[in-house]
Amino acid sequence: MADNVTPRVRVPREASAGEAVSIRTLISHTMESGVRRDSDGNTIPRSIINRFTCTFNGESVVDVTMEPSISTNPYFQFEAVVPESGTFAFTWYDDDGSVYEDSADITVA
């Protein structure tokens, strides 16, 4: 079980219809690769976030498969076209089965 795992997202509160908004996400996570060894020479078991998804009103925006060489505290920035007011939902899937979620509302004026 990874410690201190906290998801964070930055989404603009408002946008105009059809605008591509910039979304930033970060989750604090050790992203232990599974190939390192501890001071006694034992392999430290792999423990990473292996999948990240973002949906907007239920529709998929991005769905990312993540591999062991990704650095600690993975950060994603991407753009999404916003057709209407709604909610971005973000989900991170941990190797240990934990699922971390966050969401952000956006209003189209």
Partner 1 sequence: MNFKLLTVGGMAAMALSVSAAALWADEDAELVINGDMEMIVRADAPAHLDGALNTVYSGWVFRSDGTQAMQTDDFENPGMLFAEQGQQLFDTEMGANGESCASCHENAESLSNVRATYPQWDEEHGTVQTVEMQVIECQTEQMGMEEPWGINSGEMLNVTALLASVARGNVVNVAIDGPAQETWELGRDIYYTRFGQLELSCASCHEENYGNYIRADHLSQGQINGFPTYRLKNARLNGVQNRFRGCVRDTRAETFAVGSPEFTALELYVASRGNGLTVEGPSVRN
- Give the residues lining the site for partner 1 (CB under 8 A): 4, 6, 8, 10, 24, 26, 28, 71-73
Q: What is the CA radius of gyration of the chain?
A: 16
Tell me how far apart the alpha carbons of residues 90 and 7 are, in angstroms, rounded to a whole number.
9
Strand ranges in 1-109 using DSSP code E only, listed in sequence order:
6-10, 14-15, 19-28, 49-56, 59-65, 75-82, 86-94, 99-108
Whole-number minimum distance, CB 49 to partner 1, in Å? 15
| CB 58 to partner 1: min, Å | 26
The smaller minimum CB distance to partner 1, of residues 6 and 43, is found at 6
Closest distance between partner 1 and the C-beta of residue 43, in Å?
22
Helix (H, G, I), strand (E, B) or coil at 106: strand
CB nearer to partner 1: give 39 or 71: 71
By beta-carbon proximity to partner 1, the closer residue of 28 and 85 is 28
